[in-house]
A and B are shown apart, each in its own frame.
Chain A
């Protein structure tokens, strides 16, 4: 589904990613973990075309890119969420989620303004689809609220709803559970599994090792812009390099 081949990325001499490989199979939940500054978000941003690669390539489905065209992302069946919320604060939750369907919008401006049957039918179908996703993510109570006025954890769910509504083939989640309580994380894990069950392949950045281990099929570990390991949760947990660079640290932190 997704293959990143020897991807290198740097910002003015600072190397963010150094010949990173990543291979994600169809229907997989693939976690990317690593300490802060390891390049996880840079990887997601590169895959969604927000950064220009120094070298390497990205394969999405059957297409291979040296720079992923961001404006064709939705058409390629890719949706994502952002580490720091990227919501439309002036839109209601319902409008925000409906906006996630914009790529498949076919009724033209005149049809929309005049309220022609084609536009009305499309608007109704989009609304039904958005309502379904809103219900699925338990957002019905806030559907008419402005997205920007909601608590952080709820905004995270709204952003996921906006990504899910278009039924993407590939879903990139950049810390979807940051700042959530254990119960919220539990629910979010269930939602991510359900998204996979409905046909999405998922790449997930997450810091909570417990969540990562129970949720992921495969894990890739980054450290200082390099891939230091990739494998199943069991393999990763036993990998000495990972323990030295990341897991050991995480466990120490938890102990302290």
Chain B
């Protein structure tokens, strides 16, 4: 009897412990950070962290939960960003939240189309077909000048971030704006992955044949995963362009960015929501730590070229290490650490 009651007690405890953790994070992010933060913290760390987290969250829905590999994430970020730019330029009367949702829907529609090959292809072959999307979107953005309002080399500048007269223009405002969008979409993603639909995502990922036999509509589930994932990634693109960089060009949404988002998901933990945040945190903080460390050790010899090189080496090593030692990523490491601490109590 004791053996059966112990695991039950744990499951009763865990959701509330999670809820406390999330509440603390929100208090920190909304209540404490805005009081003590510097614009360097907002602009160089927190806002890009939030945008990348959201992109990774979106990709994780597709790759981590539904098991469909994609190398086209930054194409969907670009679609979201450029769609939002055009909507705010051509339909300036639309409130910003509506513009963002519509931009997400544009990315979702493209994601639906990009997901069609997934009905026939899987794994590596599917990844290659999403690679085609990556290059195709890049080509389209450069080919049709009206998309960037005829600006040279497709550079666009973000419109002011104003909602109902409230301005989010300064560094802290853009951080709070990103935080709110990310918190909202993370909540919806959590609802999704714990819903029957989320269950079907995992069923398709883990055993497509068995999923089909029990009545999961496999084709529909895959397309839905592509659409929802692309929506989230598209909105992340809007944050990247509007809240973080303010000025973007198509070349910024290249294959490197897609890989970066995939690495975040792998390092953070496939098939977990918090993995996207842990991975993005590492990817954003790693270069900063490296440059501090490098400057301290090597002094002036540590220029930006060396930093770039060290960054690549460190990241590559991390990915290989995670794939071999902990395929479930930082999220699993964190879980284990928490369990150890609880046992120590």
Residue in B4, B199, B200, B207 with the greatest tally of chain A CB atoms within 10 Å? B199
Tell me whether A99 and B197 are in contact (CB under 8 A): no
* Binary contact track A16-33/B, C-beta < 8 Å → 1, others 0: 000000000000000000
Q: What string of 1s and 0s marks CB contacts (under 8 Å) between A63-90 and chain B?
A: 0000000110111000110100011111
Q: Which residues of B contact A166 (CB under 8 A)?
A: 214-215
Interface residue? A103 (CB, 8 A)? yes
A79 contacts which of B8, B214, B224 (Cβ < 8 Å)? Answer: B214
Say yes or no for A112: interface residue by CB 8 A criterion: yes
* Contacts A/B (CB < 8 Å), 15 sampled: A71-B217, A74-B215, A75-B215, A79-B213, A88-B207, A90-B206, A90-B271, A99-B214, A102-B215, A105-B196, A107-B196, A109-B195, A113-B192, A113-B195, A141-B3
Q: Determine which of B3, B188, B214 lies in contact with A103 in the assembled complex, contact meaning CB atoms within 8 Å.
A: B214
| Distance in Å: Cβ of A177 to nearest Cβ of chain B | 19
Residue B212 interfacial (CB < 8 Å): yes
Q: With A50-B209, A80-B213, A90-B206 as known contacts, state yes or no: A109 contacts B199, CB within 8 Å.
A: no
Complex Cα gap A77–B37 (Å): 60
B185–chain A nearest beta-carbon distance, Å: 11
Q: A99-B199, A102-B199 are in contact. Are A88 and B210 (CB under 8 A)?
A: yes
**Residues in B neighbouring A82, C-beta threshold 8 A:** 210
Residue ID in chain A nearest B64 by CB atoms = A90
Within 8 A of A (CB), among B184-229: 188, 191-192, 195-197, 199-200, 202-203, 205-207, 209-218, 224
Contact-residue size bin, chain B (C-beta under 8 Å from the other chain): 20 to 34
Please give, as numbers and ranges, the residues of chain B lying within 8 Å of A89 by CB-CB distance. 206
Interface majority SS (helix, strand, loop, mixed), chain B: helix
Closest to B191 in A: A113
Interface residues of A in 204-236 (CB under 8 A from B): none
Q: In the assembled complex, how far is the CB of residue A238 from the closest CB belonging to chain B, in whole angstroms?
A: 37
Residues of the B chain whose Cβ atoms lie less than 8 Å from the Cβ of A112: 191-192, 195-197
A86 vs B224: C-alpha distance in the bound complex, in angstroms? 23
Interface residues of A, Cβ cutoff 8 Å to B: 48, 50, 70-71, 73-75, 79-80, 82, 86-91, 95, 98-100, 102-103, 105, 107, 109, 112-115, 119, 123, 126, 140-141, 144-145, 162-163, 166
User: Which of B11, B191, B205, B212 is within 8 Å of A71, CB to CB?
Assistant: B212
In the complex, which of the residues A73, A105, A144 contacts B213, with contact meaning CB atoms closer than 8 Å? A73
Q: B206 contacts A48, CB within 8 Å?
A: no
Contact of A103 with B215 at beta-carbon distance under 8 Å, contacts A91-B199, A91-B202, A91-B203 already known: yes
Smallest CB separation, A153 vs chain B (Å):
18
A119-B277 Cα distance, complex, nearest whole Å: 29
B98 → A minimal CB distance (Å): 18
Q: Given known contacts A74-B215, A82-B210, A102-B216, is B203 in contact with A109 (CB within 8 Å)?
A: no
Q: Contact check: which of B7, B8, B207, B214 meets A102 at CB < 8 Å?
A: B214
> Min CB distance, B214 to chain A, in Å?
5
A58 to chain B, nearest CB (A): 15
What chain A residues lie within 8 Å of B209 (beta carbons)? Answer: 50, 70, 86
Given contacts A109-B224, A115-B191, A144-B11, contact A70 B197 (CB under 8 A): no
Contact of A73 among B196, B205, B215, B271 (CB under 8 A): B215
Q: What's the Cα separation between A166 and B215 when bound, in Å?
A: 10
- Contact B200–A102 (Cβ < 8 Å): yes
Contact B210 A87 (CB under 8 A): yes
Cβ–Cβ < 8 Å partners of B195 in chain A: 109, 112-113, 119
Q: State in angstroms the CA–CA spacing of A100 and B215 once bound together.
A: 8
Shortest CB-to-CB span from B95 to chain A, Å, is 21
Partner of B202, one of A50, A88, A107, A119: A88
Q: CB distance A48 to B11 under 8 Å?
A: no
CB-based nearest A residue for B190: A113
Taken residue by residue from 3 to 47, chain B's Cβ proximity to chain A (1 for < 8 Å, 0 otherwise) reads as 110011001000000000000000000000000000000000000
Other than the given A91-B202, A91-B206, A99-B211, 16 more pairs (CB < 8 A) read A71-B212, A71-B217, A73-B215, A74-B214, A75-B215, A91-B203, A98-B196, A98-B199, A105-B196, A107-B196, A113-B192, A123-B196, A144-B7, A144-B8, A144-B11, A166-B215
Q: Indicate if the CB atoms of B206 and A113 lie closer than 8 Å.
A: no
Q: Which residues of B contact A145 (CB under 8 A)?
A: 7
Q: How far, in angstroms, from A227 to B7 measured CA to CA in the complex?
A: 49
Give min CB distance, A64 to chain B, whole Å: 20
- Shortest B9–chain A CB gap in Å is 11
A103 proximity list for chain B (CB < 8 A):
214-215
